[in-house]
Amino acid sequence: MKISKTEENYLKVIFSILEKGKPSASTNAISKKMQTSAASVTDMVKRLAKKKLAIHESHKGVKLTKRGGQIATMLLRKHRLWEVFLVDKLDFLWDEVHEMAEELEHIQSKEMIDRLDSFLGNPKFDPHGDPIPDAEGNFATRQQTPLNEFKVGEKGTVVGVRESSTPFLQYLDQLDLGLGSKVEILEKFEYDNSAKILLNKSKEIVITGKVCLNLFLQK
């Protein structure tokens, strides 16, 4: 039984919703992420259920079966490895690779992706700091804290971004802020959650609360 590209994209979206701790993914949440109507989602969710990739209880959202979760995980593996390839080997910037990886992830060949993995030196994280599952589906873990939870005086290194939309990444580029940047909290402004930070021991900048929320650091 083969899985279409569309079905794969749905599996990934459902997986990403469940990953955030939700007990099940709602029709509306899926339709928002997939940019399709709620009716189309109901349609597709039924098809995924029929293929034993998802479990659907009417009006109660959808979960993934073990197999559905495995497929989603392998899609993330492929997506992230291709992103590493595009950045490390073809010199793309981290904000340019998402769309291409969105297509490349659907190429079917376990052997190819395992070889790509070793060609790239078995990276554990993608260009946005997201963990790359290994061939068995195990994610690397790492202790990381969103910048907004840091206190004044604390220091850390940027290791990931919560959101990797092009505008956000380009804004970070503008600030000269990326994975590996050293950050020290100089001041925190409670009334709007913005903060003044010392970047790479050299530049003082002010960043908004939204940016603080979207940056993951290692202490």
Partner DNA sequence: TTTTATTTTTAGGCTAATCTAAAAATTTAT
Partner DNA sequence: ATAAATTTTTAGATTAGCCTAAAAATAAAA
Residue 109: CB minimum distance to its own copies, A:
5
92 binds its own copies (CB under 8 A): yes
Residue 102: CB minimum distance to DNA, A:
13
Report the site for its own copies in 31-60 (rule: CB under 8 A). Answer: none
Q: Is 77 left (phi over 0), alpha (psi -120 to 50) or beta?
A: alpha
Report the site for DNA in 9-48 (rule: CB under 7 A). Answer: 26-29, 35-47
Half-sphere exposure of 203 (CA within 13 A, CB side): 10
Asked if residue 49 lies in contact with residue 60, where contact means CB atoms within 8 angstroms, the answer is: no
CB-count burial class (<10 Å; 0-12, 13-18, 19+) for 161 = buried
128 binds Mn ion (CB under 5 A): yes
Distance CA 130, CA 173 (A): 18
Interface pick for DNA out of 61, 127, 133, 160 (rule CB under 7 A): 61
Residue 50: CB minimum distance to DNA, A:
9
Copy the structure tokens of residue 186. 């100089």
- Amino acid, res. 133: P
109 binds its own copies (CB under 8 A): yes
Distance CA 80, CA 74 (A): 10
How big is the site for its own copies, counted in residues (CB under 8 A)? 17
Residues that bind Mn ion (CB under 5 A): 9, 83, 102, 126, 128, 130
Binding site for DNA (CB under 7 A): 4-7, 26-29, 35-47, 56, 58-61
